[in-house]
Amino acid sequence: MTANIYPASSPETQISHLFAIIGQPVRIQILAIIGNEPACVCHLEAVLGLRQASISQHLMVLRKANLVTAQREGRNIFYRLVQPGVLAVIEQAAVFAGMTPGALSALALRPVAGCPCPQCNPGIDPELSCNTLSSSKSS
Ligand SMILES: [Zn+2]
């Protein structure tokens, strides 16, 4: 599965477009958070401290580019990488920028204090899941 967004464009244009999609700090954070383990929107909210509407917009862009996919598990929708190799690209970019490959690895740590998601709260009451706590309209 490839993200062929502009089929008529030259390879360098398509690659440039993909870097532009990845190249926003919030999107790099999202990709790092879900890099090794899927996460739901309320977990992303807790880690990033952003409103769900803002996170959903970024997720939509990443999904259109076929970098991220959504999967329903029980009452929640979890976002995961379509191509896990994108995490290696980010880690390599961290090295190019003079950091260690794991510069963002703290973002992927769970549990997150104050996060209501099922991953951070094993054995949570199903009625208190992500969808209940944040009015999720994502599909
Ligand atoms: Zn969580």
pLDDT at 22 over 90: yes
CA 88 to ligand 1 centroid distance, Å: 23
| The pLDDT value given to residue 131 | 58
Q: What is the pTM of this model?
A: 0.85
**Residue 119 Cα, ligand 1 centroid: separation in angstroms?**
5
CA of 38 to the centre of ligand 1 (A): 10
CA–centroid distance, residue 69 to ligand 1 (Å): 18
> In angstroms, what is the span from residue 114 Cα to ligand 1's centroid?
8
Q: How far is the CA of 118 from the centre of ligand 1 (A)?
A: 7
Partners of 78 in the β-ladder:
40, 71
In the predicted model, is pLDDT for residue 26 greater than 80? Answer: yes
pLDDT value at residue 136? 40
H or E element: which one contains 81?
strand 76-81
Q: Quickly list H helices, 23-109.
A: 25-33, 41-48, 52-64, 85-96
What is the model's pLDDT at position 78? 93
Q: C-alpha angle 39/68/38, rounded to 5°?
A: 20
pLDDT of 94 above 70: yes
Among residues of the chain, what percentage have pLDDT more than 90?
Answer: 71
- Provide the token pair at 49: 């401290």
The alpha carbon of 111 and the centre of ligand 1 are apart by a number of angstroms equal to 6
Ligand 1: distance of its center to the CA of 10 in Å? 40
Q: How far is residue 96's CA from residue 44's CA, in Å, rounded to a whole number?
A: 26
**Helix-then-strand count for the chain, H and E:** 6, 3
Number of other CB atoms surrounding residue 125 within 10 Å: 9
Amino acid at 94: A
Task: For the domain made up of 11-133, give the CATH fold.
Answer: Arc Repressor Mutant, subunit A (1.10.10)
Tell which wins on pLDDT, 67 or 139. 67
pLDDT in tens, 42-76: 999 999 999 999 999 999 999 999 999 999 887 88
90 CA distance to ligand 1 centroid (A)? Answer: 22
DSSP 76: E
**Ligand 1 center to residue 7 CA distance, Å?**
37
* In the chain, domain spans: 11-133
